[in-house]
Amino acid sequence: MTTSIAFVFPGQGSQALGMLAEHAAANPLIQQTFAEASEVLGFDLWSVSQNDEAKLNQTDTTQPAILTASIALWRVWQAQSGAQPAQVAGHSLGEYSALVAAGALPFAEAVRLVQRRGQLMQQAVPAGQGGMAAILGLEDDDVRAACAEAAQGAVVAPVNFNAPGQVVIAGAAEAVARAVEACKARGAKRAMPLPVSVPSHCALMQPAAEQFAADLAAASWAMPNMPLVQNVSATVAGDIAALRMALVSQLYSPVRWVESVQALAAGGAEHVVECGPGKVLSGLNKRCVKGLNTYNTDTPDAFAATLAALAAL
């Protein structure tokens, strides 16, 4: 374990058709991990991730697919004796990958949980009734004020504080559309609707959270074997009950990513590795904490470069 290293795991939106294909050609651990997940899910997750974009983008498939891709890369890292992190975190869904990596949750249970999580989220708000939008170039308080002005009795709120000047809002579709215009009027550089079917992390997800609490309670838990910074609090839970409670709240509460990365840095992290498909978090992380060294594992070349860079520490 190297105290200056943290691993972070991506959330929904990092999926891409054909993800990890290059990795799979070079390492059988990738498809072995997908085969384990497929057994839990009852369908061939690897085939979907390579060939069926429509199904891959359905939230109850997307969530296990990103979890599985992230844990596959984590296993390859372990198999290659990569430098070990002292802390972990995950963005939204990615928190479940972090829980598996930290030994808090068995992989098969995590696959089951995130599929269920996706199903409940989709059921909570019928398609077309919810929306999300990305707001760029406004202060957090301005986004909050725009949402308050646009609500008019409906739900709309900031839900992802991803980086300074980059906030995602979510809620009822018409309220989100009004908030987009209110943010533009306040001087946002860009305010654009996102192509999603579920308004994540807002109050509309509370019914899903109430149902999901029972699934979380029934799972097999252990305390993480390293500090795990959670989205809801941007802190490390002190016990399993608090850990689970934060996962319930996470469904309808904002992702405090800026504060989470700052917490990792305060805990000693100088090198943060994005372990999973894509490199969305790597771009955000360096904006959250100036001077942070960021790495990704998306391709075999990027993985090898990260392995070599951290071995030299």
Q: Which residues pair with 229 in a beta bridge?
A: 89, 236
Per-residue model confidence (pLDDT) at position 82: 82
DSSP codes of every residue in 225-256: SS-EE-TTTSSB-SSHHHHHHHHHHHTTS-B-
Whether 92 is a known active-site residue: answer: yes
pLDDT digits (tens, 9 = 90+) for 250-266: 999 999 999 999 999 99
pLDDT digits (tens, 9 = 90+) for 159-173: 999 999 999 999 999
Whether the CB-CB separation of 19 and 56 falls below 8 Å is answered with no
Catalytic residue among 49, 70, 91, 201: 201
User: Is the pLDDT score of 1 beyond 80?
Assistant: no
Q: What's the rounded Cα separation, in Å, for the pair 71 and 3?
A: 21
**3-class secondary structure, 278:** coil
Burial of 100-119, coded b for 16+ CB within 10 Å and e otherwise, reads bbbebbebebbbbbbbbbbb
Per-residue model confidence (pLDDT) at position 39: 98
Distances (CA, A) of 217 to 97, 212, 241, 248, 310: 18, 9, 9, 10, 37
Where are the strands (E) in the chain, listed by range?
5-9, 87-90, 130-136, 156-163, 166-172, 190-193, 228-229, 271-274, 293-296
Catalytic residue among 14, 38, 49, 92: 92
Per-residue model confidence (pLDDT) at position 2: 74
pLDDT digits (tens, 9 = 90+) for 198-249: 999 999 999 999 999 999 999 999 999 999 999 999 999 999 999 999 999 9
Where are the strands (E) in 52-206, listed by range?
87-90, 130-136, 156-163, 166-172, 190-193
Residue 12 tokens read as 């929904």
Q: What's the rounded Cα separation, in Å, for the pair 254 and 261?
A: 15
Per-residue model confidence (pLDDT) at position 76: 97
Whether 91 is a known active-site residue: answer: no
Residues near 137 by beta carbon (within 8 Å), at least 6 away in sequence: 165, 187, 188, 189, 190
Where are the strands (E) in 102-200, listed by range?
130-136, 156-163, 166-172, 190-193
Residues near 93 by beta carbon (within 8 Å), at least 6 away in sequence: 11, 12, 63, 66, 67, 114, 117
Mean pLDDT of the chain: 95
Residue 237 tokens read as 């839970």
Q: What's the rounded Cα separation, in Å, for the pair 222 and 220?
A: 7
Average pLDDT value for residue range 261-289:
96
